[in-house]
Chains A and B, each alone.
Chain A
């Protein structure tokens, strides 16, 4: 008999006034009792809308049924049949617009906390089960994967399970892509990323770090080396700036730089050599998850004031609601319907203030979108000695500029056939942010999964 409570089991969290001074994980995770109680809220309905809401089609009702009976490891095994990175997805997927957004329990009351339960299963497995997956028998065919982010890791996992000999080429010194340089420790502990990647290497995937494809080797050279197909998951790493006066001042960072210094290079930890600005007041420009991450890092790094400046209203913010709420609880001040027009220097060329203008939203146009427009003569100053620009990124040009015959669109995204993830070059597939522009971890994983399937078909047909 399902648990018919309309309310979901609350997730235990670190208290805001405690967590905004440390980098430990904010959400502490369900206890086994909580997990069983929450999983029992699933009706195991016939239509299973949640499964179609998941970009990698995790068999959600099945894992929840196991979970409700206390069969934690069985539940984990159901998830990993289609999702190689459950501890990560359970933490960073926007479930509210995917699986949970389709849950029938959400029509009247709260939807089932599918993401938190996925996380519970993965954490339970990591804590209690030490067996690594076994390396499948090799089919002798080599595939190259460029980029060890979510799409590349997923593509590699699926191909390795099918017996392919997969090598991942990663530009950074560590695998994980945005999972390690972008998403902060307090939202996704790096130890968890490391363990998920350990599963991948157990499957026989080789990860070569410090390999900037397009520089040290070209895609053509990879084919010459015997790789039969190639997946490009190089992400959208090129940061956009606003193009306003003062962006060259000392103390102005792209979110990529601010987050990479903090997360990948561990500037917040004693003993690590990479420096980060010690700021009094930080202004983060943008309204997405990256902006929330940067603002929440800034407050943990000891800033007295942290602002998020966003040109539309709170309701229009693209960041997950949960992240916005967490940020507010932690003391971050939201300056919505404001837009920076100029960054003002002190006498040493360091930024000291952001000149903003107030904005208002127009009536909805034909597409239903309300455009922000400036209010005349509404300029005002926000004092800040650090400004972080988090207004988006576009795909890195290194691969496209060194691979002849690879079509891109005018935003620099690789053009693929959406059903197969095939690019304009035979044997070259692509997915994730390199194709879509900046999007989510799970969409990239879905693309990596589809590409693995297509690569398998392509290489099987070739025989």
Chain B
């Protein structure tokens, strides 16, 4: 059993939890993920590691309510325990020798972009962060990002906070303004990552994206997470989850991620849990 030692609601839909998992905390690196299961009847759900504390032995996860498992998870309290928590899975992000990096987070994906910014900043790399949200109410991790970046740009779609507009617009503006990024790390919804990759392609700036396909085991066994990268089949769980954004077939990923959409919609309209939450 893995205890929830700390819980904080970051906004209405997004929750942060610190989980007691000392062996994972000891090994975790930016870009890696865990798989959790709430109880015996629960599904195995992958979540990218948002932070870790090697001393305290905790792993931080940040998640948005999107389906049944995240709904149940968000209802758990400090002191409750998860039945299963396995990791650190996947490969750590390879920043190579980047000197000037732009880290971009979209919505709750910012939570996953944070450890990249943190690691780069502590390695004395010059880091700019663009964090984009739909509106002011769902802005998360602003102080945390400020502490690990040289420049922080917050954008909102409706202009209710920070700059109005999309992260792609801001990125293009920064590149055209003379920022010679040698690496862009983009984590967020698949359409956003696709748009970022399209933005950086003409400038030939290496772009790392973190993919979130459907998976079960996280160790290369089910093949559910297969994605096409540069024309080859890759398993996101063991070959990724980070890939070169210029080589990923994003359309295929979006299609595969929608496999259970009908069932999820059905659950949502029939499950009392959802109704009580609304």
Residues of A in contact with B (beta carbons under 8 Å apart): 171-173, 181, 209-212, 215-217, 237-239, 241, 247-251, 253-254, 256-257, 260-261, 265-266, 271-275, 277-278, 348-349, 396-398
Separation of A238 and B238 alpha carbons in the complex (Å) = 11
Closest B residue by C-beta to A212: B219
Closest A residue by C-beta to B216: A260
Q: Which residue of the partner chain, among B216, B219, B228, contacts A396 with CB atoms under 8 Å?
A: B219
List residues of chain B with CB within 8 A of the CB of A275.
43, 260, 263
Q: Which residue of the partner chain, among A209, A249, A251, A257, contacts B84 with CB atoms under 8 Å?
A: A209
Chain B, interface residues (CB within 8 Å), range: 35 or more
Chain B window 229-250, contacts with chain A (Cβ cutoff 8 Å), 1 for yes, 0 for no: 0000100001000000000010
Q: Which residue of the partner chain, among A210, A215, A254, contacts B85 with CB atoms under 8 Å?
A: A210
CB distance from B171 to the nearest CB of A (A): 29
List residues of chain B with CB within 8 A of the CB of A397.
220, 238
Q: Would you give 13 A-B contacts (Cβ < 8 Å), ordered by A? A: A173-B37, A212-B219, A215-B88, A216-B88, A238-B221, A239-B222, A248-B233, A248-B249, A275-B43, A348-B255, A349-B252, A396-B219, A396-B221
Residues of B in contact with A (beta carbons under 8 Å apart): 23-24, 27, 37, 41-44, 68-69, 83-89, 216-224, 226, 228, 233, 238, 249, 252, 255-256, 258-260, 263
Complex contact B217–A171 (CB within 8 A): yes
CB distance from A61 to the nearest CB of B (A): 40
Complex contact B255–A261 (CB within 8 A): no
Complex contact A273–B68 (CB within 8 A): yes
Complex contact A173–B83 (CB within 8 A): yes
Chain A facing B: main interface SS: loop
Separation of A171 and B44 alpha carbons in the complex (Å) = 13
Separation of A398 and B221 alpha carbons in the complex (Å) = 11
CB distance from B21 to the nearest CB of A (A): 9
Separation of A157 and B77 alpha carbons in the complex (Å) = 40
Q: Which residue of the partner chain, among B83, B222, B233, B258, contacts A257 with CB atoms under 8 Å?
A: B222
Contact flag A248-B43 (CB < 8 Å), given A239-B222, A257-B222: no
Q: Which residue of the partner chain, among A210, A261, A278, contacts B86 with CB atoms under 8 Å?
A: A210
Complex contact A248–B226 (CB within 8 A): yes
Complex contact A216–B24 (CB within 8 A): yes
List residues of chain A with CB within 8 A of the CB of B23.
216-217
Separation of A397 and B235 alpha carbons in the complex (Å) = 12
Separation of A260 and B219 alpha carbons in the complex (Å) = 13
Q: Which of B43, B68, B88 has the most CB of A within 10 A?
A: B43
Complex contact B41–A272 (CB within 8 A): yes
Complex contact B43–A398 (CB within 8 A): no
Q: Which residue of the partner chain, among A217, A237, A260, contacts B220 with CB atoms under 8 Å?
A: A237
Complex contact A257–B41 (CB within 8 A): no
List residues of chain B with CB within 8 A of the CB of A172.
217
Complex contact A216–B27 (CB within 8 A): yes
List residues of chain B with CB within 8 A of the CB of A251.
259
List residues of chain A with CB within 8 A of the CB of B68.
273
Q: Which residue of the partner chain, among A212, A241, A265, A277, contacts B89 with CB atoms under 8 Å?
A: A212
Complex contact B221–A215 (CB within 8 A): no
A-B contact sample (16 more), CB < 8 A, given A250-B255, A256-B221: A173-B86, A181-B221, A212-B86, A212-B89, A212-B218, A215-B87, A216-B27, A248-B228, A257-B222, A257-B224, A260-B217, A265-B216, A272-B41, A277-B259, A396-B221, A398-B220
List residues of chain A with CB within 8 A of the CB of B217.
171-172, 237, 260
CB distance from B55 to the nearest CB of A (A): 18
Complex contact A250–B256 (CB within 8 A): yes
CB distance from B263 to the nearest CB of A (A): 5
CB distance from B51 to the nearest CB of A (A): 18
Separation of A249 and B83 alpha carbons in the complex (Å) = 33
Separation of A257 and B69 alpha carbons in the complex (Å) = 19
Separation of A459 and B39 alpha carbons in the complex (Å) = 40
Separation of A257 and B27 alpha carbons in the complex (Å) = 28
CB distance from A185 to the nearest CB of B (A): 16
Q: Which of A171, A251, A257, A277 has the most CB of B within 10 A?
A: A257
Closest A residue by C-beta to B252: A248
CB distance from B31 to the nearest CB of A (A): 13
List residues of chain B with CB within 8 A of the CB of A260.
216-217, 221-222
Closest B residue by C-beta to A261: B216
Complex contact A396–B41 (CB within 8 A): no
Separation of A248 and B257 alpha carbons in the complex (Å) = 11
CB distance from A167 to the nearest CB of B (A): 14
Complex contact B84–A248 (CB within 8 A): no
Complex contact A239–B219 (CB within 8 A): no
Complex contact B41–A254 (CB within 8 A): no
Separation of A129 and B216 alpha carbons in the complex (Å) = 37
Complex contact B41–A271 (CB within 8 A): yes
Complex contact A241–B44 (CB within 8 A): no
List residues of chain B with CB within 8 A of the CB of A257.
216, 222-224
Separation of A211 and B87 alpha carbons in the complex (Å) = 8
The 8 A-B residue pairs whose C-beta atoms are closest, nearest first, are A257-B222, A254-B223, A237-B221, A210-B86, A349-B255, A273-B43, A274-B43, A173-B84
Q: Which residue of the partner chain, among B86, B87, B219, contacts A237 with CB atoms under 8 Å?
A: B219
List residues of chain B with CB within 8 A of the CB of A209.
84
Complex contact A248–B224 (CB within 8 A): no
Separation of A266 and B86 alpha carbons in the complex (Å) = 20
Closest B residue by C-beta to A259: B222
Separation of A396 and B83 alpha carbons in the complex (Å) = 25
CB distance from A118 to the nearest CB of B (A): 30
CB distance from B70 to the nearest CB of A (A): 11
List residues of chain A with CB within 8 A of the CB of B263.
275, 278
Separation of A39 and B43 alpha carbons in the complex (Å) = 45
List residues of chain B with CB within 8 A of the CB of A212.
86-87, 89, 218-219
Closest B residue by C-beta to A273: B43
List residues of chain A with CB within 8 A of the CB of B238.
397-398
Closest A residue by C-beta to B72: A273
Separation of A212 and B223 alpha carbons in the complex (Å) = 17
CB distance from A239 to the nearest CB of B (A): 4
Complex contact B87–A274 (CB within 8 A): no
Closest A residue by C-beta to B83: A173
